[in-house]
Amino acid sequence: MEDCIFCKIVDGSLPSEKVYEDESVLAFKDLHAQAPVHLLVIPKKHISSIREIGEEDGPLMGKIFAAINQLAKEYGLADKGFRIVNNCGDEGGQTVYHIHFHLLGGRSLTWPPG
Ligand code: 5GP
Ligand code: ZN
């Protein structure tokens, strides 16, 4: 989608530090890391937010969570614990309207967030 920075990361016109890629999912390091490990996991297909997920996206969401689990293992977070965050909409703190899941870990995360 034009004017979407994450679509530009998918097509390579905007640089990123990629950490995982398959035919439908991409993961890369967040530009402003909030934890020692802070990755963003996204579908390559443009979906603007959780609100736009359809029934047909079930397998894609499964792939996203499979990638998250693989990355959690690779980054040594799986046994220690980690957090998955999705911000949805303006009051939810979403700033990039291409759905993404933050994978955060590598320190003790506090609750509640912000
Ligand atoms: P949101 O606030 O929408 O949940 O999260 C957007 C995230 O994208 C933020 O954590 C922000 O640091 C990250 N971000 C914004 N622009 C870029 C970019 O151009 N490259 C990368 N790698 N991350 C970005
Ligand atoms: Zn997009």
- C-alpha 30 to ligand 1 mean position (Å): 6
Q: How far, in whole angstroms, is CA 5 from its chain's centroid?
A: 13
Q: Fold for 5-105, please state it.
A: HIT family, subunit A (3.30.428)
Question: How much is the pLDDT for 5?
Answer: 98
Q: How confident is the model at residue 96 (pLDDT cuts 50, 70, 90)?
A: very high
- C-alpha 114 to ligand 1 mean position (Å): 17
Question: How much is the pLDDT for 73?
Answer: 98
Q: Is 39 in the pocket of ligand 1 (CB under 6 A)?
A: no
Active-site residue flag, 38: no
Quote the pTM value: 0.98
Instruction: Give 98's contacts (C-beta < 8 A, 6+ positions apart).
Output: 1, 4, 5, 6, 7, 42, 46, 47, 48
- Each residue of 37-86: pLDDT tens digit? 999 999 999 999 999 999 999 999 999 999 999 999 999 999 999 999 99
